[in-house]
Every structure is written in C-alpha cells, then in structure tokens.
Chains A and B, each alone.
Chain A
Amino acid sequence: MLREGFDKRISGLKDKVFQMGNMVDSLISESMEALLNQDLEAAAQIEKKDDKIDKLEMEIEGECMNLLTLQQPLAGDLRLIAAALKIITDLERMGDHAVNIAHVTLEIGKEPFIKPLIDIPKMADYCHNMIEESLNAFANADVEKAKKIAEMDEEVDKLSDRVFEDVIDIIAENKGLLKQGSKLLFIARYLERIADHTTNICERIIYMVTGVYKEIN
C-alpha cells in the first residue's frame, strides 16, 4: 500500500479529534459535578482545563491545514479532514459552555438552590451519552449511530423546556428568586447548546462517510 506515512497522519488526526472529544466530555461532567456539589474550588479549575482543549483545537487545525497544503487529499481523506475541521469547532464551543456553567456555579456560590436540580442533571446525562456515542460513531464511521444520536437531542430540548417552565413558575411566585432562577435558566441553555453542537458533529460524521450534507432536526 502506497502512502503509509500519509495514512498514519490521517489516523493520528482521527485519534486527536477523538481525544479532544473525550476531554470536552470530561470537562462538561466535571463542570456539572462542581455545580451539583456546589464545589467552588473545582468550578474554579474548569477554565484552566478548557485552555488545554483550545490548545489542542489549534494543534488539530494546524495539522489539517498542513495535510491540505502538502498532501492534496481527495475523496474520503478530504472529507475526513473537512469533517475534522468542523467538528473541532463544535467541540471547542462545547468546552466553552462547560466553562460558562462553571462561571454560573461560582456566581451562585454556596447559596442553597431554589429548587432541587432534577432535570438539569438529566440533561447533562443525555449530553454525556450523546458525546460519547458521537465520538464512537466518528471513530467507526457509523452513520446509523450518528442519526440515532440526533434523536436524543429532542429529549434534551424537552427537558430544557421543562426547566424553563419550572423556573419561570418559581420566579413568578417569588421575585426574590429571580437572580438564581435566571442563572439556572442559563445552565439549561448551555446544556441545550451542547446537545445542538453534538448534533452538528453527527451531521459532519454523516458527511464524512457518505459525502452527503444532511441536516438533522
């Protein structure tokens, strides 16, 4: 087989995207744990950890540009590189949302939650599953899995709507809870965006494998 060196770099690129995805997945989990435990020390660490993700994104982008410039990839190779370039942008934004959640955690501080957090952790669980599954779909070029993951996004949207209704009801009854209530709404919004970005990633995986642009949801 010709181009063994090139093949190694392509598989190295895939590994790095996968690694970045795992880092983002962990960061979101850590950020959520800090929120639920109101662990301010852990929340304060999230931003620094996100810097590593940003750095890896730049590294992967550099490698993609290098491969495009020097290797003139075509067909499946080109689609993989194009997909990688788009996927890392989504992953980077997801990492930013983990940081946003940590910021909200720090703002809430040790103040007791205005309601037990039930749907928000559920949203985070869905996000975690979606990310994990989408990374597997990416690694295995699994179109069917990528399509299925998008269905989970609908569940996240439903939960998000429920959080909004619940919190708005609480605020309507007691305006004194407006400050924390609005912060919880932001968290639901960040998780909902994370799920959307994961759906984008699935679209890129479908393109990578089939060459067809397909909008999901």
Chain B
Amino acid sequence: MGVRIKIENLDFYYGKFKALKNINMNIYDKKITAFIGPSGCGKSTLLRTLNRMNDFVDGVKIDGKVLFDGIDIYNGGLDPVELRRKVGMVFQRPNPFPKTIYENIVFGLKNNGVKDKKILDDVVERTLKGVYLYDEVKNKINKSALDLSGGQQQRLCIARAIAMQPEVILMDEPTSALDPISTAKIEELLLELKKDYTIIIVTHSMQQAARISDYTAFFLSGEVIEFDETSKIFSVPRDKRTEDYITGRFG
C-alpha cells in the first residue's frame, strides 16, 4: 500500500507552546484517514501543517519533516502554491465565494490562467457530477452559490477543491454544521472520492470516523496516542486513553 504523506519526528510550536510532539505517521494513498481527539489536542494543527496553512500564523515553528511523495515540503522541496494545488482543503463551515456556482468552481483554474470556456464548462459539469450536485443545480449554475442550502454549499466547496485536481483533500470537520441527511450525502461522497483522492478528515464524531475512515489517529495533548486501522481502533484499541476517549469516559 502506497504512502502518500510521511510525517517524521514533527514538532510544532505556536510561540513557546508546543502544539505537536514528535508526530510520526504515514498517510496512505487513496484511503480515508480520520484524526480524532478532544478540542485543542492538535489534530487541526497537524491537518493544516500538511498544506502549510499554518505559515500564515505568527510565531509558528516546525521541526521534523513532512514528506509528500518523498519530497520534504518544508525544506524547499516544494513551492507552497504548488503544494496547495496538490493538497486541497475543505473547512468546517461551507465557505463558497459570494459568486455564482459556476464562478466558484472555476475560480482556481482562472487564477491559474485557464481561459478556454469549453474546458471550464467541462470542469464545472464534471466536478458538479462528481459531488452529486449537478442534478440539483444544473438549471441555476449562474445563480449565487449563497442561495444553496448548507449541505449543497459544502458539496460545492468540495467540487471547488477537486476542480484543481488535487491529490490529497484535507477536511476539517466538514459536516459539523450540517444536518444528518446532508452529512450522509457528504459521507457517501467521500467514500466515492477516495477512489481518486487521498482524504484526511478531522472529526468530532466517533461514528463518522468509524463509518467512513480506513485509518484513525487518536490525538491527545499534541501527541498521537494511537494510529491504526479504524476497525481496530474502535473495537480493540491498545491504549487505555484511546478506549476512554472513544467510549466517552473523558474528552
């Protein structure tokens, strides 16, 4: 099984605060990896480290390596803009641009100089179909994306991310603001998307991690306490702290 991202001896500081401590982990290709743990445990920090989103935060210092296909993304191996094209991101709250559905999807491509309308039209149709949104919006793709429901907006954000043909998609609690039906649709979508993409998802829902992920990492106070196949983490965790967290004894 291929390793897409290899994290080696990673320490992460916000100023003096050490938010991640000696993280070592493999992210496997075309699998869904879930990060779970109580608030403030470092899971979102690690997620944002993988496409250098933390570069914009003051006082951040990183030791160790993050290897993307063997290339060290922090030591000059890969241009951050190129990295973020390869590693897309979807956030907790749907955040479409205040533009049309169409413009949301082609935004990244246009910024990268793609002007051919036929290519752009094709991408819009393909990605909307890819996130199972096409039938719902095909008659209003030139209307504002803000008119869509929350669940539709989130699927649009995923479509926007995959329009750039990334290799990895990072998701930070992508369904926490959605109702159960929209959540189920996103989960089904992720199971489809993992045929083509490597997905990492931060989630506070144990059931969501159990339902959709192949691997799960449990974080506590900046450390990865346990990383294993999801079925093992939720049936026979090795560490008592993992067991206590997933069974709701603390957290």
Contacts and interface: CB of A to CB of B under 8 A. Distances in A.
A113 interface: no
Interface in B165-221: 206-207, 210
Nearest to B238: A211
A118 interface: no
A80 to B, nearest CB: 11
A77 B247 contact: yes
A75 B247 contact: yes
Interface residues of B, number: 15
A55 B105 CA distance: 61
Interface in B217-251: 234-237, 242-243, 246-251
B236 A74 contact: no
Contacts of A212: 236
Given A211-B235, A211-B236, A75 B248 contact: no
Interface string A156-199: 00000000000000000000000000000000000000000000
Contacts of A2: 248-251
Q: Classify chain A: how many residues form its interface, as a range.
A: 10 to 19
B236 A1 contact: no
A77 B234 CA distance: 10
Nearest to B248: A3
A78 B235 contact: yes
Interface in A73-118: 73-79
25 contacts: A1-B250, A2-B248, A2-B249, A2-B250, A3-B247, A3-B248, A3-B249, A72-B206, A72-B207, A74-B206, A74-B210, A74-B234, A74-B235, A74-B246, A75-B234, A75-B236, A75-B243, A75-B246, A75-B247, A76-B247, A77-B247, A79-B235, A211-B235, A211-B236, A212-B236
Interface of A: 1-3, 6, 72-79, 210-212
Given A2-B248, A2-B250, A79-B235, 20 more contacts: A1-B250, A2-B251, A3-B247, A3-B249, A72-B206, A72-B207, A74-B206, A74-B234, A74-B246, A75-B234, A75-B235, A75-B243, A75-B246, A75-B247, A76-B247, A77-B247, A78-B234, A78-B235, A79-B236, A211-B235
